[in-house]
Amino acid sequence: MNPRPRRLKLLRFLPNGWLATSGPAQGGRTLYLTFDDGPHPEFTPELLDLLAEHDAKASFFLIGREAERHSTLARRIAAEGHTLGNHSYSHPVFDSLTLAQQLEEIDRTERVLHGIDGRALHAFRPPRGVLTLPMLAKLASRRHRIDYWSYDSLDYSRRPVPELLETIQQHPLRTGDIVLMHDDSAHSLALLRELIPAWKAQGFMLRALPHLH
Our answer to whether residue 117 is catalytic in this structure is no
- Interatomic CA distance for residues 75 and 115, integer angstroms: 9
State the helix-helix crossing angle for 186-201 and 161-170, rounded to 10 degrees: 40
- Interatomic CA distance for residues 192 and 50, integer angstroms: 8
Distances (CA, A) of 9 to 12, 85, 181: 6, 24, 21
Cis preceding linkage at 134, omega within 30: no
Our answer to whether residue 182 is catalytic in this structure is yes
**Are 85 and 59 spatial neighbours (Cβ–Cβ below 8 Å)?**
yes
- HSE of 167, CA atoms in CB hemisphere, 13 A: 17
Catalytic residue among 36, 37, 152, 184: 36
Q: Which residues contact 20 (CB under 8 A, 6 or more apart)?
A: 123, 145, 146, 147, 148, 178, 209
Catalytic residue among 70, 87, 182, 187: 182
Q: Give the dihedral sign, CA 101/111/212/204.
A: negative
Active site residues: 36, 182
